[in-house]
Amino acid sequence: MRRCLVGGAVVLALLAALVPGSAASAVPGSRVAPVPLDRLFDNTAVSDDARPGEADFDGSGASLSARDLAAAGWTPGRALTVQAARLTWPRRAAGEPDNVRAAGQDVRADGSGDALAFLVAGTAGAPVTGTGTVAYADGTRSPYLLTAPDWRRGPLATKAVALPHINTPVGQLAEQARLYVVTVPILPGRPVVSVRLPDATDLHVFALSVRAAATPGWTGSWAAATSGYPAVGPWSDRTLRLVVHTSAGGPRVRLRFDNTFAAAPVRIGSATVAVRAEGAAARTVPVPVSFLGAAGVEIPAGAQAFSDPLDFAVPADTDLLVSFHLPDSVSAAPVHRLAAQRSYLSEPGDHAADGSPAAYTSVVTSWPLLTGVDVGGGPGSVVLLGDSITDGDRSTVDANRRWPNVLATRLLAQNVVPHYGVLNQGISANRVVADRYPGDGVSADTGGVSALNRFDRDVLAQTSARTAVVFEGVNDVRWGATAEQVIAGLRELAARGHARGLRMLAATILPCAGEARCTAAVDGERGTVNAWLRSTGEFNGLLDFDAVLRDPAHPARLLPAHDSGDHLHPGDAGLAALARSVDLRLLAG
């Protein structure tokens, strides 16, 4: 298990203190007037490769390479969007102070939202943790707990960017340096005026910002989680035309692209959106989207880009074509591997604006780079965090018969609860407590990082998330995790979601006897997790999927009518039964 759960009681106690509705204390003002973070910079982390002695990040003379940062697209003063938070890399030249060692300083901040985002790294050789406080305009404060992973030893699964070298006075080392974006919860709806940093001098802060809560005015309609970073193409001067299926509709649209896990920037030359007719053909002429007024955008390594709002009527429960031109050579890319949907790759050239399918001569079975489609207005979204069963493995390709699709159709056809968007964040082979994809570098493994390690990105940072459903665990127990480990992970997910104001639901693990790894011992671990889920009060509600699909005569097996044939994944009928079994009132509380 990659993520450390030691000290969980302290973490969960602090998280509980931040659940919306909890009390915040009124206290006197700060010791000194808060100042912008860059006025407190007292450490130099970045050096010119030719002059490494000008920086000393960790006290031993080691530093980050300015050349490596530039190659990743992290240039001085550049705004970076990571986990939906906008942060600015320090506008400082190599050899100038560019970060602050946290020592209880008061930093000016503004805005209201659901989280503070910190761009950090530790230099203690181990994670550095400290507590700080957030001051609000109404005179109240709330605590937060911040942990900065180590810049040389921290987990690659959660890094914002990894650089290939470390500069030292005696030469450059071929060793990775890591930087992290860490978010911590704040009280929603209260304008922030300042942040008191922890007193932990080996915790370095490069930037901080308030992440806007729930992205007002938008509802997530479609999403896909980045599952890995495999070799592709290579694609050079090609256009991808991805087919995605909406849940909620709206009068405006914006797109989200993520360069997750990457080591270098990726450039999108142009992008369009259209309602699909059939195949790669658009119903009407594709409409161009822009990025800060430009036709295209360069996305730094590890960052994301949102397109500008576009007046475009997005129908609910409908296929869209999202087309984007890649003018440069792309030999590896962040992808969602299992699309269960055919998309298209063009012949050379920018064909994003083509209504005709003629140029799109190749089929793509993954979703590269595109991670979200948002629509204007709406009530917000339900996020489904899962594995291959949520991802749609063994569902009919091109038919949108994943259980999240069926759930979205049910929501649209009723008036008991709002018509929420449904965001499918399932990843085939994913686990709660262990990474499949290592989190860095080109890899053929696209099972994703663990639910714990992707929760911030794939749930908390999703557009207008209101409720999350956690439906994972079968891959953990099939590959040797104990029930206690899975339960600890699920407990942490519930607490982290509640701390951000999300309604948290859990689903029981389906039976899988008959599949090679689903032994009697595995079924025992599964049963222990399910028994805990049925009795715990740590989630707001339970979806008892095990009870829905198990064979009453053989409870360790799927009912044959619901089995795809591999005894692990439900087929179309089983997936529909899962969606039909959901009490929609649980989604709204």
Domain end: 376, 405, 421, which one?
Answer: 376
- Higher confidence at residue 6 or residue 105? 105
**pLDDT score for 214:** 55
Residue 159: pLDDT above 80? yes
Mean pLDDT of the chain: 94
Domain end: 316, 344, 376, which one?
Answer: 376
For 449-467, the pLDDT digits (tens) are: 999 999 999 999 999 999 9
Three-class SS state of 340 = coil
Residue 28: pLDDT above 90? no
Q: For helices 520-535 and 483-499, what crossing angle results, to 10°? A: 30
**Across-strand partners of 181?**
119
* Same domain? 409 vs 451: yes
**pLDDT score for 212:** 83
CATH for 575: 3.40.50.1110
* Same domain? 229 vs 270: yes
Residue 29: pLDDT above 50? no
456: DSSP letter: I
* Same domain? 296 vs 393: no
Q: Say how many domains are in the chain.
A: 3
Query: Per the domain annotation, does 295 fall within a domain?
Result: yes
- Cα distances (angstroms) measured from residue 93 to each of 54, 96, 397, 402: 11, 6, 51, 50
285: DSSP letter: P
- In 3D, which of 248, 50, 28 has the Cα closest to residue 139? 28
- Among the residue ranges 1-15, 39-53, 336-350, the one predicted with the least confidence is 1-15
Rounded to 5°, angle at Cα 38 from 33 and 44: 130
**pLDDT score for 7:** 40
For 199-228, the pLDDT digits (tens) are: 999 999 999 999 986 567 999 999 999 999
> Can you tell me the mean pLDDT for 47-65?
97
pLDDT grade, residue 351 (50/70/90)?
very high
Query: Per the domain annotation, does 422 fall within a domain?
Result: yes
Residue 333: pLDDT above 60? yes
* Same domain? 239 vs 304: yes
Query: Per the domain annotation, does 3 fall within a domain?
Result: no
pLDDT grade, residue 26 (50/70/90)?
very low
- In 3D, which of 508, 439, 416, 501 has the Cα closest to residue 469? 508
CA 67/CA 349 separation, integer angstroms: 31
* Same domain? 58 vs 120: yes
Q: Are 248 and 292 in contact (CB under 8 A)?
A: no
Query: Per the domain annotation, does 43 fall within a domain?
Result: yes
Token pair of 305 as six digits: 């880009």
Q: Which helix (H) or strand (E) holds 161?
A: strand 161-163
* Same domain? 370 vs 425: no
* Same domain? 426 vs 357: no
CA 438/CA 295 separation, integer angstroms: 34
Query: Per the domain annotation, does 50 fall within a domain?
Result: yes
pLDDT grade, residue 189 (50/70/90)?
confident
Query: Per the domain annotation, does 483 fall within a domain?
Result: yes
Query: Per the domain annotation, does 1 fall within a domain?
Result: no
* Same domain? 138 vs 244: no
Residue 269: pLDDT above 70? yes
Query: Per the domain annotation, does 216 fall within a domain?
Result: no
**pLDDT score for 589:** 74
**pLDDT score for 27:** 42
> Can you tell me the mean pLDDT for 556-578?
98
* Same domain? 354 vs 405: no
> Can you tell me the mean pLDDT for 510-516?
98
Residue 305: pLDDT above 60? yes
pLDDT grade, residue 31 (50/70/90)?
low
Domain end: 183, 211, 239, which one?
Answer: 211
SS3 assignment for 241-270 = EEEEECCCCEEEEEEEEECCCCCCCEEECE
- In 3D, which of 559, 434, 440, 395 has the Cα closest to residue 1? 434
Percent of the chain predicted with pLDDT > 70: 94
* Same domain? 51 vs 176: yes
Burial class (CB in 10 A: 0-12, 13-18, 19+), 536: middle
**Domain assignment of residue 202, given as a range:** 8-211
* Same domain? 354 vs 236: yes
Residue 15: pLDDT above 60? no
> Can you tell me the mean pLDDT for 436-454?
98
* Same domain? 192 vs 273: no
